[in-house]
Chain A
């Protein structure tokens, strides 16, 4: 079964840190570009960050640049998001998503995890 399973969410005070993980199974993880997408309670989807297939290239939304670091370990089929200097406005469900990619063509965010909740509050 194709699956992404996030973990590591929780409650943290402003200024704190959390590390999210996303474990992949049932597909060739190393062939997919990977993304983090978040959704604040009752709001829409917001793209956060992405990594290419080997993790050599990453990109971030302006709202998290310099505070969040995305990485991946293809040997462990796992994606990470290190979140530092957390703010109240970072409160959201965080989804990892896999983007199909082949021979320079992108297929959209085909695979999604179930999400993990991050709450930043004093």
Chain B
């Protein structure tokens, strides 16, 4: 089973700043099948990035993903007030289990 470790656990930033979230896998993620999700309180998760660097439909271009193998990054170039939320990475190869990271809370400083 691939274990995903996200860092930091909490990130405190101000609107307009740049956010960098990290996700490290315990072994190489096949085909870079690494996704990022945003979740706000009381809501379902929303897909932001798939295949490590492809933005999902309707996602603003301030969100970008990068990385390969075992190290992946989600970058939000200029934080908007609505971006403060929980973020999860996930590896979704077709070999189960599909695992999620423990999450990074992005909070307003």
Contact = CB atoms under 8 A, between A and B. Distances in A.
A109 B90 contact: yes
* Size bin of chain A's contact surface: 20 to 34
Contacts, number: 69
Interface residues of B, number: 26
Interface SS majority for chain B: loop
B96 interface: yes
A29 interface: no
Interface stretch (B13-21, B41-49, B71-79): B41-49
Interface in B33-71: 33, 35, 37, 39, 44-47, 49-51, 56-57
A58 to B, nearest CB: 9
B44 A115 contact: yes
B33 A50 contact: no
B102 interface: yes
A113 to B, nearest CB: 7
A59 B56 contact: no
Interface of B: 33, 35, 37, 39, 44-47, 49-51, 56-57, 88, 90, 92-94, 96-103
